[in-house]
Structure 1
């Protein structure tokens, strides 16, 4: 689940994204809530209007927001009162450290690689990567499906030149780190970072600034 705010374009509105849209969307409006449904009948999100009546909107920053348990409960109560049966819940972190277990050349590209990335608890994802410095054995930062990147890009499953890809291996620049170098390449983190742990931007930026991690 992605929750975000854009105070300039959509004032006093909380946008909740539950999944990737497939085809044309339909909308169900009940009071201050609009439910978004794709053409396959899946509920892909909600828009909460006049959300300052439910949570403390003024204190929330632009961009992706992490709601407290109390704020999440208040939104779920509002959904129930409006007659919707969805219950919102945060899952595991989607921006995590991963291990590059395999790295092979893409069958239809001279610069892409097809990787297998372990992201914790034995979970693995196939991710197509175009970074020139990707290699087996690295620990990297992985944006899994359902991630909202700092630049507003949403990460969902897709395919690159006919090969399925379930996430993105990130560069420091894509992660919005202050000390990111302005050149191509994924960020390689230290070997002692825990696979599956949530990405910590402050720690990684400090290591970038000190030269202890690359890109």
Structure 2
């Protein structure tokens, strides 16, 4: 997993890099302009904060929100870590996180009267079990899937999880959750037109006209 975000108005010149989910207490270590966040119990590094980040990645100037890191960016961040004798363990993740999915099947959740358990095909023909509370959930529809490792427009990060005891590996999104212009401001999966290709990366720019 590799998620990067940058919000200079709120946080200053700090690049937040997330490598994994927090599952317990955190250990925070400062070394010059780099903050390392790790799990207290096992020492696993789950993220970094790079202070004065625009000195490492000049492209951050005038950017805000989630940052798409390329191979060159990852190299520069790892070089900054090595310069402080820190673990250079940031690995490029260029797998699309918002994709067109196809809901193959829907079943009732055994412990909920409103949740549904879906088998949803995503890219490379792979299917995921995703629990959804969308009132319009049904089989044989095309939807937008936020895969594990996605950052939603509101900053929510999608981690593996479970809902009432059932595994859920991703999120089937509404137009409202995706911040698509003019999307209905109510719950309900965004059902895509049939011309969307299952497994393709969801194009937010092209989707801006879906509700015109």
Query: Do the structures match in fold with TM over 0.5?
Result: yes
Contact 1:22/1:40, CA 8 A, preserved across alignment: no
Give per-residue Cα distances to partners, 1:5-24, cap 9 Å, x unaligned. 12133100000001111100
Answer yes or no: is the 8 Å Cα contact 1:95–1:143 preserved in 2.
yes
Q: How many Å separate the matches in 1 of 2:60 and 2:111?
A: 49
Q: Is 1:26 the counterpart of 2:32 in the alignment?
A: no
1:61 corresponds to: 63
Alignment partner of 1:191: what SS? coil
Cα offset, 1:197, TM superposition: 1.7
- After superposition, where does 1:1-215 map in structure 2 within 5 Å? 1-38=2-39, 39-56=41-58, 59-85=61-87, 86-209=89-212
Cα separation, 2, equivalents of 1:204 and 1:135: 21
CA distance in 2 between partners of 1:60 and 1:77 (Å): 23
With the length of structure 2 as denominator, give the TM-score of the two structures. 0.92
Mapped partners of 2:172, 2:96: distance in 1: 15
CA contact (8 A) 1:51 1:57 kept: no
Take 1:145 and 1:152, find their aligned partners in 2: how far apart are those partners? 14
Q: Per-residue CA shift, 1:144-172, capped at 9, x if unaligned?
A: 11111111111111211111111110000
CA separation in 2, counterparts of 1:159 and 1:90?
Answer: 24
Mapped partners of 1:139, 1:58: distance in 2: 35
The answer to whether the 8 A contact 2:121-2:127 is kept is: yes
Query: How far, CA to CA, are the matches of 1:174 and 1:25 in structure 2?
Result: 29
CA distance in 1, matches of 2:29, 2:126: 36
Give how far 1:103 is off: 0.6
Q: What RMSD, in angstroms, separates the aligned Cα atoms of the two structures?
A: 1.6
Which segment drifts farther, 109-118 or 195-204?
Answer: 195-204
Q: Deviations over 1:101-128 (max 9, x none)?
A: 1110111111110001111213221111
* TM superposition shift of 1:57: 5.6
**Structure 2 residue ranges without an equivalent (≥5):** none
